[in-house]
Amino acid sequence: MSAAAALLVAAGAAATGGGACSNWLDCSLNGDCAGSPKQCVCDPGWTGETCAVLNLAPAQIEHSYVAPEGTSSWGMSVVEDQSAGKPQYHGYVSEFALKCKLSSWTSNSYVNHIVADAPTGPWRQAGQALSEWAHNPKVIYDAKEGVYAMYHIGSASGGRSLKNCTTGAALTTAVEPRTSAVSPAPFSIHYSKSLAGPWTPLTDIPSPDRTTGGNKRMTLYPGVSNIDVSVPAGGVLLREQPAHGNGTLLVNFSTFVRKAGVLEWDACGGAVFDNGHPVEQTGVGSRIGSFSVVGDGAVQAGNPCAVEWPSTPTLRGPFAASDGVQTLSIETNYFRLPDAGGPASSARAVGDTQDAAGCRGVCETTADCISFTWDGRDRAAGEGGTCWVRNDTLWWPNVTNGDPARLAAGRPWTFDGDNPAPLIDAARGNVTVLYRTDIGVGVGASPMASLIGIATAPSWRGPYSLAGDMGGSLTNAQYPFDENEDPFLWQTPRGFHALFHSNTWGDSRHTVHPVAQYAGRLAFSADGVRWRYSEVPPYNGTIRWANGTESVFSRVERPVLLFADGRPTHLINGAQRYSNDDYTFTLVRTVA
């Protein structure tokens, strides 16, 4: 599917599959792979060539939840209750005290309880469920105990200073940290026998220590390694520089010179870059791909230094127009596996392990190991692979859509973050939780890598342990599709699925994904261990209304799906219409 076609489908155009497939995974676990030749046939509620797009009906504002008296709300968790003989829907909504809006969420957010006879309302007020500060509630039901468990962030301890947006009075005490909780876990849990409450805090949630190691133990995407190159006019000088930093190699070198007012391409003598070092022999090591550059308004294509590689580097400007050196910046995200103990690398091969998880375990027990790479590409399946450990912060290699079972890189993960999304096995009572964790290190001064972690427990009471093929991280590197927040998790007979708010504010590499096209993200896994992100957004911020008009919202986040007989029936989001007004409401749309 072309990018334009994918965005058209995400905006609501109908399709029923049709993409070539070999198994259910090629259909996003949302459809069958059938026919001859085999093509995706989507389940009800899903559309697009790979069944990765929600088939949303035009929205109606009266179907959404608009809090009374001008109060803002920001998404909700919904529980269907059949105990009265007919369905009743209980919503648990993030709202903001004293007429405050979304920007006051870390001080004024509380959980409100509302009730309706249908997911599209009208909603009746049922009282406050949790006091300030509490945010992002997700409610599950433990049939074995007969107990509802509400996961959320914040302590809900009450008695705090609140911002008064009616009078303009400021806070008199500091806001709670966004990861504050009443336990060592990166979230809080309140529980109740009744959907009407009262809700009791679970004060002890056994879990991994989320403070030990801190950010040093969190899997990240490449940052920046700077190489400063002094180039005389009319020539190119390649200076050897050890690899360092967080992984993305930013190489500055001169390829243009201006002679007699004419911008000319300057040959580089056949050298290519590999981890910051010139490689003199073509065909050895990794090489950056072919590229084009813009200089003085003219596009210059090709490069005698470059050989073909699957990915294309990004060249950054602007470029000077005066005589002399033209300095360009090339960003490349691939690094070859160096020779063990080679002078250009801090990596060393420590032996073979059966899989990437085993290599991670070696890293965790090696005193100077911060990151690892497991390479099983030259082995048959089941024969293990070489485990490399590093004592710097380089993520390498960066695999986008490669097979994580044969080439995997990462770092030991920390159990720290927020935005919990629990899923309970109704028969056994065990729980899987997705959560968001991030760090303010990336390309440049302050971008953030917002990544998803996964943990499991035999009960919602714990103890929790890190899970997944990468030992806590939901996937191996699948940039840019894996920088997300606000997870929502569910299971079908084919496997596990998750929705997220995709990174629409600028990711760890300064890339902004416009909300009009990319508000949502879908991931899926046949076993709950090995995950894949879809490249096609399941929905976006372009809202089609029943009256035939469209609106592009500035924020469409906090996704929650409702189901009936296994098929999605409604999508719920926290929604903000205008970027200059953080008034929000809870958007409810029907899945056709």
Q: What is the DSSP string of 405-464?
A: TTEEEE-------EEEEEEE-TTT--EEEEEEEEES-SSSSS--EEEEEEEEESSTT---
Predicted confidence at residue 409, as pLDDT, reads 67
In the chain the first and final C-alpha atoms are separated, in Å, by 22
Single-letter amino acid, residue 166:
T
Under a CB-based contact definition with an 8 Å cutoff, are residues 473 and 408 in contact?
A: no
CB atoms within 10 A of CB 58: 16
Predicted confidence at residue 294, as pLDDT, reads 28
Is residue 47 exposed (0-12), middle (13-18) or buried (19+ Cβ within 10 Å)? Answer: buried
**How far lies 326's CA from each of 145, 280, 444, in Å?**
69, 23, 22
Predicted confidence at residue 202, as pLDDT, reads 93
- Selection from 211, 220, 218, 217 nearest residue 179 by Cα: 211
CB atoms within 10 A of CB 152: 29
Rounded to an integer, what distance in angstroms lies between the CA atom of residue 258 and that of residue 263?
4
CA angle 89, 95, 97 (to 5 degrees): 140
CB atoms within 10 A of CB 184: 16
Under a CB-based contact definition with an 8 Å cutoff, are residues 38 and 22 in contact?
A: yes
Main-chain dihedrals φ then ψ at residue 70, nearest 5 degrees: 75, 10
User: Using CA atoms in the order 92, 93, 96, 98, what is the torsion angle rounded to 10 degrees?
Assistant: -60
CB atoms within 10 A of CB 351: 11
- The β-bridge partners of 491 are 496
CB proximity list for 411: less than 8 A, separation 6 or greater? 217, 218, 219, 220, 363, 370, 371, 372, 395
Give the CA radius of gyration of the chain: 26
Rounded to an integer, what distance in angstroms lies between the CA atom of residue 95 and that of residue 79?
18
Rounded to an integer, what distance in angstroms lies between the CA atom of residue 279 and that of residue 270?
9
Please compute, for residue 374, the number of CA atoms within 13 A of its CA located in the half-sphere on the CB side: 27
Predicted confidence at residue 18, as pLDDT, reads 83
- Selection from 195, 84, 82 nearest residue 146 by Cα: 195
CB atoms within 10 A of CB 224: 17
H-only helix segments in 110-204: none
Under a CB-based contact definition with an 8 Å cutoff, are residues 88 and 81 in contact?
A: yes
Under a CB-based contact definition with an 8 Å cutoff, are residues 97 and 120 in contact?
A: no
pTM: 0.73
Rounded to an integer, what distance in angstroms lies between the CA atom of residue 141 and that of residue 326?
63
Rounded to an integer, what distance in angstroms lies between the CA atom of residue 521 and that of residue 557?
10
Token pair 């997220």: residue: 500
Under a CB-based contact definition with an 8 Å cutoff, are residues 222 and 299 in contact?
A: no
Reply yes or no: is the peptide bond before residue 198 cis, omega within 30 of 0: yes
Rounded to an integer, what distance in angstroms lies between the CA atom of residue 373 and that of residue 117?
53
- The β-bridge partners of 50 are none
Under a CB-based contact definition with an 8 Å cutoff, are residues 42 and 24 in contact?
A: no
**How far lies 272's CA from each of 85, 254, 317, in Å?**
72, 13, 21
Rounded to an integer, what distance in angstroms lies between the CA atom of residue 100 and that of residue 104?
6
Under a CB-based contact definition with an 8 Å cutoff, are residues 466 and 472 in contact?
A: yes
**Structure tokens, 496:** 């596990």
User: Using CA atoms in the order 11, 522, 419, 464, what is the torsion angle rounded to 10 degrees?
Assistant: 170
Predicted confidence at residue 506, as pLDDT, reads 74
Which element (helix H / strand E) includes 289?
A: none
H-only helix segments in 244-403: 356-364
CB atoms within 10 A of CB 246: 20
Rounded to an integer, what distance in angstroms lies between the CA atom of residue 345 and that of residue 391?
10
What does the pLDDT profile of the chain (592 residues) look like in tens digits?
433 334 333 444 444 778 899 999 999 999 999 999 999 999 999 999 999 999 999 999 999 999 999 999 999 999 999 888 889 999 999 999 999 999 999 889 999 999 999 999 999 999 999 999 899 999 999 999 999 999 999 889 887 778 889 887 666 666 666 555 556 678 899 999 999 999 999 988 888 765 444 344 444 333 322 222 333 333 332 222 222 222 222 233 333 333 444 433 333 322 233 223 222 222 323 233 323 332 222 223 333 333 222 233 333 222 222 223 333 333 332 233 333 333 334 667 889 998 877 887 888 788 777 677 777 877 887 888 888 887 654 444 433 334 545 667 666 676 778 899 999 999 999 999 999 986 544 334 344 568 898 999 999 999 998 888 767 888 866 777 888 999 999 999 999 999 999 988 777 666 788 999 999 999 999 999 889 999 999 999 999 999 999 999 999 999 999 999 999 999 999 999 998 899 999 999 999 9
Predicted confidence at residue 249, as pLDDT, reads 28
Rounded to an integer, what distance in angstroms lies between the CA atom of residue 549 and that of residue 544?
6
Predicted confidence at residue 286, as pLDDT, reads 29
**Structure tokens, 336:** 């070859």
